[in-house]
Copies of this chain bind each other. A is one copy, B any other.
Amino acid sequence: MTDDAWTQEQIRAHIDAGLPLVPLFNIDVLEAAAHTASVRLGPGPHVTRPGGSVAGPVQFALADVAIYALILAEKHDAMAVTVDLNINFLRPAMTLPLIATATPLRMGRRLFTAEVRIVEASTSKLVSHATGTYALSGAA
């Protein structure tokens, strides 16, 4: 954690280099700013289940990356770790891309909690909702 703001370019580069699932699943950071971050899941060979819906673990990854991008923008804390994450799968996600948008619920000194809404970009339908809590490193 530093007091210097990260640019969106720095956040994107940090996430692409640090989280191998991001390029593997074709996830892009669209925005990472104060109070909101959004990421997009594009088409790829690993994301769908038979029948064509997006697999749960891929949606989990999308929510996790969205919150991590938000923490980088708000707290500049690359060492933050996920404490717990609760995800509700509301309806099958049938069309890509998906957009996951994270907004903060708690921005504490030690704990950061956010909610994430995942929608189909083409229909705006809500496909899943997550809330996650992260431990800030407080270290750097």
Contact = CB atoms under 8 A, between A and B. Distances in A.
A81 interface: yes
Given A20-B55, A56-B64, A105-B129, 7 more contacts: A18-B50, A20-B45, A24-B46, A86-B87, A88-B106, A88-B133, A111-B135
Contacts of A83: 83, 88-89, 111, 133
Contacts of A135: 110-111
Interface string A88-131: 11111000000000000110001101010000000000100101
Interface of A: 17-21, 24, 45-46, 48-50, 55-58, 60-61, 64, 81-92, 105-106, 110-111, 113, 115, 126, 129, 131, 133, 135
Contacts of A92: 81
Q: Which 3 A/B pairs are nearest by Cβ-Cβ distance?
A: A57-B61, A86-B86, A90-B106
Contact of A84 (B46, B49, B86): B86
